[in-house]
């Protein structure tokens, strides 16, 4: 995963830790006004912990015949022979233009495998990706 994804997940986790610690140490009295802050702190703590675990354990493994995406919560594997094609989803936001690759499997029951821009793709990845047919071109024609 990219440094930016790891940084923001850690930042969210630290925000949750600091805001929750204020209540646990008694620095802030528990009253109605502070309950919302406590709720935000707990949500930030949980979401930050999960996001940090995912960003620090996520990895993509490529082989000649398959791709595997693994993190602490899940493991997804697709054989090249099971992949119908790929789509590139491009979005523009405040940070600029980002793209996500979606590998579409053959068959209706299998779920697509999404590879977000949180990963730092290298030349080896793009060589592997070139094996997969581009479905975007078929949509245009």
Domain end, chosen from 30, 57, 84, is at 57
Q: In this structure, are 63 and 96 located in the same domain?
A: yes
Mean pLDDT for the stretch of residues 120-140: 82
Task: Give the domain range for residue 88.
Answer: 59-140
Whether the per-residue pLDDT at 140 is higher than 50: the answer is no
Domain with residue 110: its CATH number is 2.30.29
DSSP string, 4-18: HHHHHHHHHHHHHHH
The total domain count for the chain is 2
- The verdict on 12 and 42 lying in the same domain is yes
Residues 78 and 90 placed together within one structural domain of the fold: yes
Q: Check whether 138 has a pLDDT greater than 80.
A: no
Interval 79-88: pLDDT, tens:
999 999 999 8
Contacts 24+ apart (CB under 8 A), 3-9: 4/118, 5/55, 5/118, 6/52, 6/55, 6/56, 8/51, 9/48, 9/51, 9/52, 9/54, 9/55, 9/56
Domain co-membership, 26 together with 92? no
Residues 76 and 32 both lie in one domain: no
Residues 43 and 71 placed together within one structural domain of the fold = no
Q: In this predicted structure, which of 2-6, 21-25, 84-88 has the lowest mean pLDDT? A: 21-25
Q: Is 109 exposed, middle or buried (0-12, 13-18, 19+ CB in 10 A)?
A: exposed
pTM over cut 0.85: no
User: Do 90 and 42 reside in the same domain of the chain?
Assistant: no
Asked if 72 and 113 sit in the same domain, the reply is yes
Residue 18 scores a pLDDT above 70: yes
Across all residues in the chain, what is the average pLDDT? 82
Q: What is the DSSP string of 38-78?
A: HHHHHHHHHHHHHHHHHHHH-EEEE-SSEEEEE-SS-EEEE
């Amino acid at each position: 995963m990219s440094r930016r994804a790891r940084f923001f997940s850690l930042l969210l986790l630290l925000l949750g830790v600091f805001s929750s610690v204020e209540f646990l140490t008694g620095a802030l009295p528990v009253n109605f006004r502070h309950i919302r802050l406590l709720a935000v702190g707990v949500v930030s703590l949980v979401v930050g912990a999960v996001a940090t675990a995912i960003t620090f354990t996520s990895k993509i493994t490529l082989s000649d015949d398959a791709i595997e995406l693994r993190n602490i919560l899940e493991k997804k594997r697709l054989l090249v022979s099971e992949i119908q094609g790929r789509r590139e989803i491009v979005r523009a936001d405040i940070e600029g233009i980002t793209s996500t690759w979606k590998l579409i499997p053959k068959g209706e029951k299998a779920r697509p495998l999404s590879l977000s821009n949180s990963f730092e793709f290298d030349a080896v990845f793009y060589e592997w990706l070139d094996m997969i047919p581009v479905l975007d071109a078929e949509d245009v024609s």
